[in-house]
Amino acid sequence: MARYFIRRALSLIPTLFVIVTLSFFLIRLAPGGPFAREKDVPEFILQNLLKRYHMDEPLGKQYLRYLGDILRWDLGPSFRYRDLSVNEIIDKGLPVSMTLGVTSLVLAVVSGIAVGIISALKQNKWPDYVAVSIAVIGISVPLFVMGPILQLFVGMRWKILPMGQWISVHGIKAIILPALTLSFPYFAYIARLSRASILEVLRSDYIRTARAKGLKESMVVWKHVLKGALLPVVTYLGPAFSGIVVGSVVVETTFLIPGIGRPFVQSALNRDYTLIMGEVIVYSVILIFANLVVDLIYGLLDPRISYK
Protein backbone atom coordinates (compact mmCIF):
# COMPACT_ATOMS: atom_id res chain seq x y z
CA MET A 1 0.00 0.00 0.00
CA ALA A 2 2.73 2.49 1.01
CA ARG A 3 4.81 1.43 -1.99
CA TYR A 4 1.83 1.84 -4.24
CA PHE A 5 1.25 5.32 -2.88
CA ILE A 6 4.86 6.35 -3.41
CA ARG A 7 4.88 4.95 -6.94
CA ARG A 8 1.70 6.79 -7.83
CA ALA A 9 3.02 9.99 -6.26
CA LEU A 10 6.21 9.69 -8.29
CA SER A 11 4.25 9.21 -11.48
CA LEU A 12 3.07 12.76 -10.85
CA ILE A 13 6.43 14.03 -12.17
CA PRO A 14 6.27 12.73 -15.77
CA THR A 15 2.54 13.53 -15.95
CA LEU A 16 3.16 17.12 -14.88
CA PHE A 17 6.06 17.39 -17.30
CA VAL A 18 3.81 16.43 -20.21
CA ILE A 19 1.07 18.81 -19.05
CA VAL A 20 3.51 21.71 -18.61
CA THR A 21 5.13 21.14 -21.99
CA LEU A 22 1.84 20.84 -23.87
CA SER A 23 0.26 23.87 -22.24
CA PHE A 24 3.39 25.97 -22.60
CA PHE A 25 3.46 25.57 -26.36
CA LEU A 26 -0.33 25.50 -26.85
CA ILE A 27 -0.91 28.92 -25.29
CA ARG A 28 1.89 30.39 -27.39
CA LEU A 29 0.01 29.14 -30.45
CA ALA A 30 -3.06 31.15 -29.53
CA PRO A 31 -3.25 34.47 -31.37
CA GLY A 32 -2.45 37.64 -29.45
CA GLY A 33 -0.16 38.00 -26.47
CA PRO A 34 0.00 39.46 -23.02
CA PHE A 35 0.82 42.93 -24.30
CA ALA A 36 -1.66 43.13 -27.15
CA ARG A 37 -4.09 46.02 -26.53
CA GLU A 38 -6.72 47.87 -28.47
CA LYS A 39 -4.32 50.82 -28.48
CA ASP A 40 -0.95 50.11 -30.04
CA VAL A 41 1.90 50.12 -27.57
CA PRO A 42 4.86 52.18 -28.81
CA GLU A 43 7.53 49.92 -30.27
CA PHE A 44 10.30 50.77 -27.81
CA ILE A 45 8.01 50.15 -24.79
CA LEU A 46 6.98 46.81 -26.25
CA GLN A 47 10.62 45.86 -26.77
CA ASN A 48 11.38 46.75 -23.16
CA LEU A 49 8.42 44.73 -21.94
CA LEU A 50 9.44 41.71 -23.99
CA LYS A 51 12.97 41.99 -22.67
CA ARG A 52 11.78 42.40 -19.11
CA TYR A 53 9.82 39.13 -19.32
CA HIS A 54 12.46 37.32 -21.40
CA MET A 55 10.06 37.04 -24.29
CA ASP A 56 12.63 38.27 -26.77
CA GLU A 57 14.51 35.00 -26.39
CA PRO A 58 13.90 32.02 -28.69
CA LEU A 59 10.90 29.90 -27.57
CA GLY A 60 13.08 26.89 -26.71
CA LYS A 61 15.20 28.95 -24.38
CA GLN A 62 12.11 30.44 -22.74
CA TYR A 63 10.75 26.92 -22.22
CA LEU A 64 13.96 25.68 -20.57
CA ARG A 65 14.09 28.80 -18.42
CA TYR A 66 10.49 28.18 -17.34
CA LEU A 67 11.22 24.53 -16.50
CA GLY A 68 14.13 25.68 -14.36
CA ASP A 69 11.92 28.22 -12.61
CA ILE A 70 9.14 25.81 -11.73
CA LEU A 71 11.67 23.33 -10.35
CA ARG A 72 12.36 26.05 -7.76
CA TRP A 73 8.54 26.55 -7.45
CA ASP A 74 8.93 30.03 -8.88
CA LEU A 75 5.97 30.51 -11.18
CA GLY A 76 7.17 33.86 -12.37
CA PRO A 77 5.61 37.33 -12.36
CA SER A 78 2.08 37.82 -13.65
CA PHE A 79 2.13 39.61 -17.01
CA ARG A 80 -1.07 41.46 -16.23
CA TYR A 81 -1.12 42.04 -12.50
CA ARG A 82 2.17 43.88 -12.55
CA ASP A 83 2.79 44.06 -8.82
CA LEU A 84 1.92 40.44 -8.11
CA SER A 85 3.76 37.20 -8.77
CA VAL A 86 1.84 34.10 -9.81
CA ASN A 87 2.90 32.46 -6.54
CA GLU A 88 1.30 35.30 -4.61
CA ILE A 89 -1.95 35.08 -6.55
CA ILE A 90 -2.18 31.33 -5.98
CA ASP A 91 -1.12 31.51 -2.33
CA LYS A 92 -3.88 34.00 -1.69
CA GLY A 93 -6.62 32.46 -3.82
CA LEU A 94 -6.08 28.72 -3.41
CA PRO A 95 -7.06 28.50 0.28
CA VAL A 96 -10.25 30.41 -0.52
CA SER A 97 -11.15 28.15 -3.45
CA MET A 98 -10.24 25.03 -1.49
CA THR A 99 -12.37 26.09 1.49
CA LEU A 100 -15.31 26.73 -0.78
CA GLY A 101 -14.69 23.54 -2.79
CA VAL A 102 -14.26 21.21 0.17
CA THR A 103 -17.30 22.64 1.95
CA SER A 104 -19.40 22.23 -1.18
CA LEU A 105 -18.17 18.71 -1.82
CA VAL A 106 -18.80 17.56 1.75
CA LEU A 107 -22.27 19.09 1.53
CA ALA A 108 -22.90 17.42 -1.83
CA VAL A 109 -21.65 13.98 -0.73
CA VAL A 110 -23.48 13.87 2.61
CA SER A 111 -26.80 15.17 1.32
CA GLY A 112 -26.50 13.35 -2.01
CA ILE A 113 -25.96 9.95 -0.39
CA ALA A 114 -28.69 10.55 2.18
CA VAL A 115 -31.21 11.50 -0.49
CA GLY A 116 -30.03 8.58 -2.65
CA ILE A 117 -30.66 6.11 0.19
CA ILE A 118 -34.10 7.51 0.94
CA SER A 119 -35.24 7.50 -2.65
CA ALA A 120 -33.86 4.00 -3.32
CA LEU A 121 -35.62 2.57 -0.26
CA LYS A 122 -38.86 4.35 -1.16
CA GLN A 123 -38.58 3.60 -4.85
CA ASN A 124 -41.60 4.82 -6.84
CA LYS A 125 -43.24 6.34 -3.78
CA TRP A 126 -43.56 10.07 -3.12
CA PRO A 127 -40.20 10.62 -1.30
CA ASP A 128 -38.51 9.11 -4.34
CA TYR A 129 -40.43 11.33 -6.76
CA VAL A 130 -39.58 14.45 -4.72
CA ALA A 131 -35.90 13.49 -4.56
CA VAL A 132 -35.67 12.66 -8.25
CA SER A 133 -37.37 15.96 -9.17
CA ILE A 134 -34.92 17.95 -7.05
CA ALA A 135 -32.06 16.06 -8.65
CA VAL A 136 -33.29 16.84 -12.15
CA ILE A 137 -33.58 20.53 -11.23
CA GLY A 138 -30.08 20.41 -9.75
CA ILE A 139 -28.59 18.93 -12.87
CA SER A 140 -30.40 21.17 -15.32
CA VAL A 141 -30.29 24.59 -13.64
CA PRO A 142 -26.92 26.22 -14.34
CA LEU A 143 -24.84 27.77 -11.56
CA PHE A 144 -25.24 31.28 -12.98
CA VAL A 145 -29.02 30.98 -12.55
CA MET A 146 -28.99 29.22 -9.20
CA GLY A 147 -26.56 31.71 -7.64
CA PRO A 148 -28.46 34.92 -8.49
CA ILE A 149 -31.79 33.32 -7.43
CA LEU A 150 -30.36 32.55 -3.99
CA GLN A 151 -28.81 36.01 -3.81
CA LEU A 152 -32.10 37.62 -4.76
CA PHE A 153 -34.30 35.81 -2.25
CA VAL A 154 -32.08 34.84 0.67
CA GLY A 155 -29.71 37.78 0.40
CA MET A 156 -31.77 40.69 -0.86
CA ARG A 157 -35.44 40.04 -0.08
CA TRP A 158 -35.20 38.15 3.19
CA LYS A 159 -31.78 39.50 4.19
CA ILE A 160 -30.88 36.27 6.00
CA LEU A 161 -27.41 35.84 4.57
CA PRO A 162 -24.86 38.10 2.87
CA MET A 163 -25.31 38.37 -0.88
CA GLY A 164 -21.65 38.10 -1.66
CA GLN A 165 -18.03 38.51 -0.60
CA TRP A 166 -15.99 36.19 1.51
CA ILE A 167 -15.37 35.14 5.14
CA SER A 168 -12.87 37.99 5.56
CA VAL A 169 -15.76 40.45 5.20
CA HIS A 170 -18.84 38.70 6.58
CA GLY A 171 -17.51 35.86 8.71
CA ILE A 172 -18.34 32.19 8.35
CA LYS A 173 -21.93 32.72 7.15
CA ALA A 174 -20.55 34.12 3.91
CA ILE A 175 -19.74 30.60 2.82
CA ILE A 176 -23.32 29.29 2.98
CA LEU A 177 -24.87 30.63 -0.21
CA PRO A 178 -21.90 30.06 -2.53
CA ALA A 179 -21.37 26.56 -1.12
CA LEU A 180 -25.06 25.74 -1.59
CA THR A 181 -24.95 26.98 -5.15
CA LEU A 182 -21.75 25.17 -6.01
CA SER A 183 -22.75 21.90 -4.37
CA PHE A 184 -26.23 21.70 -5.90
CA PRO A 185 -25.42 20.03 -9.24
CA TYR A 186 -22.94 17.70 -7.54
CA PHE A 187 -25.48 16.85 -4.85
CA ALA A 188 -28.01 16.08 -7.58
CA TYR A 189 -25.62 13.87 -9.51
CA ILE A 190 -24.49 11.98 -6.40
CA ALA A 191 -28.12 11.48 -5.33
CA ARG A 192 -28.98 9.93 -8.69
CA LEU A 193 -25.80 7.87 -8.75
CA SER A 194 -26.27 6.45 -5.27
CA ARG A 195 -29.98 5.81 -5.84
CA ALA A 196 -29.25 3.78 -8.96
CA SER A 197 -26.45 1.78 -7.42
CA ILE A 198 -28.33 1.09 -4.17
CA LEU A 199 -31.27 -0.19 -6.22
CA GLU A 200 -28.93 -2.46 -8.12
CA VAL A 201 -27.33 -3.85 -4.97
CA LEU A 202 -30.74 -4.31 -3.32
CA ARG A 203 -31.66 -6.72 -6.09
CA SER A 204 -28.45 -8.74 -5.79
CA ASP A 205 -28.21 -12.30 -4.57
CA TYR A 206 -26.20 -11.48 -1.49
CA ILE A 207 -28.87 -9.11 -0.25
CA ARG A 208 -31.41 -11.92 -0.67
CA THR A 209 -29.08 -14.06 1.47
CA ALA A 210 -28.87 -11.33 4.10
CA ARG A 211 -32.64 -11.10 4.27
CA ALA A 212 -33.02 -14.89 4.37
CA LYS A 213 -30.75 -14.85 7.41
CA GLY A 214 -33.41 -12.86 9.26
CA LEU A 215 -31.55 -9.54 9.45
CA LYS A 216 -33.57 -6.39 9.99
CA GLU A 217 -34.02 -4.26 6.91
CA SER A 218 -32.05 -1.42 8.51
CA MET A 219 -29.16 -3.81 9.21
CA VAL A 220 -29.35 -5.12 5.65
CA VAL A 221 -29.02 -1.58 4.30
CA TRP A 222 -26.27 -0.35 6.63
CA LYS A 223 -24.13 -3.41 6.75
CA HIS A 224 -24.71 -5.16 3.45
CA VAL A 225 -25.91 -2.62 0.90
CA LEU A 226 -24.00 0.60 1.46
CA LYS A 227 -20.41 -0.56 1.16
CA GLY A 228 -20.93 -1.96 -2.29
CA ALA A 229 -23.37 0.68 -3.40
CA LEU A 230 -21.08 3.59 -2.57
CA LEU A 231 -18.22 2.45 -4.82
CA PRO A 232 -19.53 4.33 -7.88
CA VAL A 233 -19.94 7.46 -5.73
CA VAL A 234 -16.34 7.19 -4.57
CA THR A 235 -15.19 6.80 -8.16
CA TYR A 236 -17.01 9.99 -9.02
CA LEU A 237 -15.35 11.91 -6.16
CA GLY A 238 -12.00 12.27 -7.98
CA PRO A 239 -13.26 14.18 -10.99
CA ALA A 240 -15.90 15.87 -8.80
CA PHE A 241 -13.27 17.27 -6.46
CA SER A 242 -11.17 18.87 -9.15
CA GLY A 243 -14.30 19.87 -11.04
CA ILE A 244 -15.78 21.57 -8.02
CA VAL A 245 -12.61 23.61 -7.49
CA VAL A 246 -12.34 24.55 -11.15
CA GLY A 247 -16.10 24.96 -11.53
CA SER A 248 -16.12 27.56 -8.82
CA VAL A 249 -15.27 30.20 -11.45
CA VAL A 250 -18.94 31.06 -11.95
CA VAL A 251 -19.69 31.01 -8.25
CA GLU A 252 -16.60 33.09 -7.44
CA THR A 253 -17.71 35.66 -9.97
CA THR A 254 -21.36 35.67 -8.85
CA PHE A 255 -20.52 35.99 -5.17
CA LEU A 256 -17.36 38.15 -5.52
CA ILE A 257 -15.14 35.56 -3.88
CA PRO A 258 -11.35 36.09 -4.08
CA GLY A 259 -10.48 32.53 -5.16
CA ILE A 260 -8.29 31.30 -7.99
CA GLY A 261 -11.16 30.46 -10.33
CA ARG A 262 -11.64 33.99 -11.56
CA PRO A 263 -7.94 34.77 -12.14
CA PHE A 264 -7.76 31.51 -14.13
CA VAL A 265 -10.40 32.57 -16.64
CA GLN A 266 -9.07 36.12 -16.73
CA SER A 267 -5.54 34.86 -17.36
CA ALA A 268 -6.69 32.84 -20.36
CA LEU A 269 -8.47 35.86 -21.83
CA ASN A 270 -5.51 38.13 -21.12
CA ARG A 271 -2.92 35.66 -22.46
CA ASP A 272 -1.25 36.05 -19.09
CA TYR A 273 1.12 33.17 -19.91
CA THR A 274 2.71 32.66 -16.51
CA LEU A 275 -0.57 32.83 -14.63
CA ILE A 276 -2.21 30.34 -17.01
CA MET A 277 0.69 27.95 -16.53
CA GLY A 278 0.61 28.35 -12.77
CA GLU A 279 -3.10 27.63 -12.59
CA VAL A 280 -2.82 24.64 -14.92
CA ILE A 281 -0.11 23.17 -12.73
CA VAL A 282 -2.12 23.71 -9.54
CA TYR A 283 -5.25 22.11 -11.02
CA SER A 284 -3.30 19.17 -12.42
CA VAL A 285 -1.75 18.44 -9.05
CA ILE A 286 -5.19 18.65 -7.40
CA LEU A 287 -6.74 16.32 -9.98
CA ILE A 288 -3.93 13.77 -9.80
CA PHE A 289 -3.97 13.69 -6.01
CA ALA A 290 -7.77 13.53 -5.88
CA ASN A 291 -7.71 10.49 -8.14
CA LEU A 292 -4.97 8.87 -6.10
CA VAL A 293 -6.94 9.35 -2.89
CA VAL A 294 -10.03 7.90 -4.59
CA ASP A 295 -8.07 4.82 -5.65
CA LEU A 296 -6.85 4.35 -2.09
CA ILE A 297 -10.39 4.67 -0.67
CA TYR A 298 -11.53 2.18 -3.30
CA GLY A 299 -9.01 -0.33 -2.01
CA LEU A 300 -10.27 0.15 1.54
CA LEU A 301 -13.90 -0.41 0.51
CA ASP A 302 -13.48 -3.33 -1.84
CA PRO A 303 -11.45 -6.24 -0.49
CA ARG A 304 -11.08 -7.66 -3.98
CA ILE A 305 -8.77 -4.79 -4.90
CA SER A 306 -5.23 -4.98 -3.60
CA TYR A 307 -2.38 -2.62 -4.33
CA LYS A 308 1.10 -3.86 -4.85
Partner 1 sequence: MTDEVILQVRDLKTYFTVDEGVVKAVDGVSFDLHKGETLGIVGESGSGKSVTNLSIINMIPNPPGKIVGGQVLFSGKDLLKIPASELRHIRGNKISMIFQDPMTSLNPFLKISTQMIETIVLHQGLDKKAAKEKAIEMLKLAGIPAPEKRIDQYPHQFSGGMRQRVMIAMGLSCNPEILIADEPTSALDVTIQAQILELMQELTKRLGTAVILITHSLGVVAGMCDTLCVMYAGRIVERGKTDDIFEDPKHPYTQGLIRSVPRLDKENADRLYSIPGQPPNVIDLPDCCPFYPRCEKAKDICKKKYPPVTGFENGRAVSCWLYAEETK
CB of 123 to partner 1, least distance (A): 10
CB of 184 to partner 1, least distance (A): 31
Site for partner 1 in 213-232 (CB under 8 A): 213-216, 219, 223-224, 227-228
The H or E element containing residue 271 is none
- Taking the CA atoms of 111, 116, 118 and 124 in sequence, report the sign of the dihedral they define: positive
SS (HEC) of 100-157:
HHHHHHHHHHHHHHHHHHHHHHCCCCHHHHHHHHHHHHHHHCCHHHHHHHHHHHHHHH
Among 39, 72, 304, 308, binds partner 1 (CB under 8 A): 304
Among 211, 258, 292, 293, binds partner 1 (CB under 8 A): 211
CB of 118 to partner 1, least distance (A): 19
CA distance 68 to 64: 6
Nearest CB to partner 1, comparing residues 114 and 207: 207
CB of 222 to partner 1, least distance (A): 12
Helices and strands in the chain, H and E counts? 16, 0
Calculate the CA 187 to chain-centre distance. 14
Distance separating the N- and C-terminal Cα atoms of the chain: 6
Nearest CB to partner 1, comparing residues 89 and 210: 210
In the shown chain, the binding pattern of residues 171 to 210 toward partner 1, with x for contact by CB under 8 A and - for none, equals ---------------------------------xxx-xxx
Residues that bind partner 1 (CB under 8 A): 204-206, 208-216, 219, 223-224, 227-228, 301-304
